[in-house]
Amino acid sequence: MVTCGTRTTFGIHFSPATIVKSAALLGFTLLAFGASAQTPPFGLPDRGVLRLQLGTAVTEGGLHSPKRFVHEPSGLSQAINPSGKCGLALGGPTSLAVLTASGGNGTLGLGPDSIGVFNGSKGVACYRITASINEQIRFGLGSDVPALAAIDANAFYRLALDLEVKQNAEFLLQILIAGNVVDEFRLRTGGSIVAGEGSTAPGSADQILNCTSQSDSGPDAGARDNCRWTVDTLGQEFRLIPISGEGSLEGGGDFGSAAYASNTLVYLTEGAIGALGCNSSQVPQGTGTVPIGDGGTTAQCAVTRVDPTGLGGSCTTAVGYVLRNIGGTEEGCELIKSPGEQLAASINILFPPEASTALGSEPLTQIEFSTAVPGQFVPFTPQRCIGTVVPDRNGEPTIAEVLSVPGFVPDVVPGTPQKDWACILNNSQEFVGSGLMQIRQTILFWGDISFSRQAR
């Protein structure tokens, strides 16, 4: 609630990859019990960490045997059990993870300290993920992760994977939100490393990690052929896909007394996270976010993607996002999108009650457009829309000329590849008593932007 003489602020930030990932690797630094200090990005809450533990009983750190997923700090766990000669079956008592396999025999395999795809009943064929037979494994969050108050998470923001690699391997790590691939990373070892590409430290701009661990095809080499693969990215699932060579997902078992410190870690958070599609055959995902906020103490916001196909643009990929309320000196919403193509969309906003003004005298919504320089923005005050209002292929209103007619409206940030512009399609004020009014707006926008209604 805003008192007389003040003004709420509404903000939506669409951060391109260079901006998001320059902020200290997505801005991550969280304190998870038993893990290194990390914090979820964008003000999202800390929901602890899932540990994959596949070693033997050790005293360092505790909670290490039997094989399991365990959530910290709650201590809730899920057993990882053998099935048959070398199959894998997830037990209980808590559903923390879902694992599936494809390629090979299409079922999960479990070794002494490794998870892979079952492809034979003896030796490493039980639990390796092998490129030559198109094997891969997929990880998702179990049903109890969002359901139990002790965890209350629906996404991860960082992965620290213990991966064993063999035969000059290259692995692709795909990150999924709502079933859609929104980010990809690569790990290379030995002869798969390409000169001039990637880095031996996490955070390479091309998202390639060059692992210098031994990559062999002989007997197990203990921890010498294990790679620590840390990525900072928001997601709900991930896929491990070998492009060449083979490997397996591990949980510290090759590291002896350091097993606990070498567990595979999945750092958890919770938020309105999803992917915007175009309801088309190419991008079948839905076009809208879930509404957030109550319109009373917080702004109520919902974003709908516009499909600009036939209107000067295209829709070829799903766009991952996080939508959240912001408060303090800014009262509104923030949308952080994954990198990708030109985004066209609309936002419906109901601002919290604020001091009533004469008709036409209300403070204007302010916009800041992201630039190519992280942390720098270009201010813009959107006016009422001009041009021809037309429906996109899904019936959502947009302006026909913005992308299809060069120069029809200015490109507010010509130094970026996006067309950056916005306009107010609908604007209404309702007097709600006690000297207060509420403003509701529909704003059409293109590009990477930040909306705000500044206190005055």
CA distances from 298 to 323, 333, 417, 429, 437 (A): 13, 9, 33, 17, 14
Q: What does the pLDDT profile of the chain (456 residues) look like in tens digits?
A: 222 222 233 344 333 322 222 222 222 222 222 333 488 987 889 999 999 999 775 655 555 668 999 999 999 999 999 998 889 999 999 999 999 999 988 999 999 889 999 987 777 888 999 999 999 999 999 999 999 999 999 999 999 999 999 989 999 999 998 888 888 999 999 999 999 999 999 889 999 999 987 655 444 566 778 999 999 999 999 999 999 999 999 999 888 878 888 999 999 999 999 889 999 999 998 999 989 999 998 889 999 999 999 999 999 988 888 888 876 656 678 777 765 667 899 999 998 898 999 988 888 887 778 777 767 888 888 999 999 999 999 999 999 999 999 999 999 989 888 899 999 999 999 999 999 999 999 999 998 666 655 443
**pLDDT in the model for residue 325:** 82
Considering only CA atoms, which of 419, 422, 423, 415 is closest in space to residue 406? Answer: 419
**In contact, 234 and 30? CB cutoff 8 Å:** no
> Is the omega angle on the peptide bond into residue 146 within 30 degrees of 0, that is, cis?
no
The angle formed by the CA atoms of residues 233, 238 and 240, to the nearest 5 degrees, is: 115
The encoded tokens of residue 345 equal: 């969309």
Q: Is 286 helix (H, G, I), strand (E, B) or coil?
A: coil
**pLDDT in the model for residue 216:** 55
**pLDDT in the model for residue 427:** 94
User: In the 8-state DSSP scheme, what is residue 364?
Assistant: P
Considering only CA atoms, which of 265, 269, 271, 270 is closest in space to residue 70? Answer: 265
**pLDDT in the model for residue 342:** 79
**pLDDT in the model for residue 259:** 87
CA dihedral 399, 401, 404, 409 (to 10 degrees): -110
**pLDDT in the model for residue 324:** 84
CB atoms within 10 A of CB 369: 24
Q: Which residues pair with 186 in a beta bridge?
A: 172, 208
**pLDDT in the model for residue 13:** 38
**pLDDT in the model for residue 192:** 93
Amino acid at 220: D
Phi and psi based region of residue 87 (left: phi greater than 0; alpha: psi -120 to 50; beta: remaining):
beta
Residues 6+ apart with CB under 8 A from 147: none
**pLDDT in the model for residue 390:** 98
The encoded tokens of residue 259 equal: 């097993």
**pLDDT in the model for residue 367:** 79
**In contact, 162 and 51? CB cutoff 8 Å:** no
The encoded tokens of residue 391 equal: 């429906």
pTM: 0.80
Domain boundary assignment for the chain: 45-270, 273-452
**pLDDT in the model for residue 104:** 87
Q: Which residues pair with 249 in a beta bridge?
A: 115, 163
Phi and psi based region of residue 77 (left: phi greater than 0; alpha: psi -120 to 50; beta: remaining):
beta
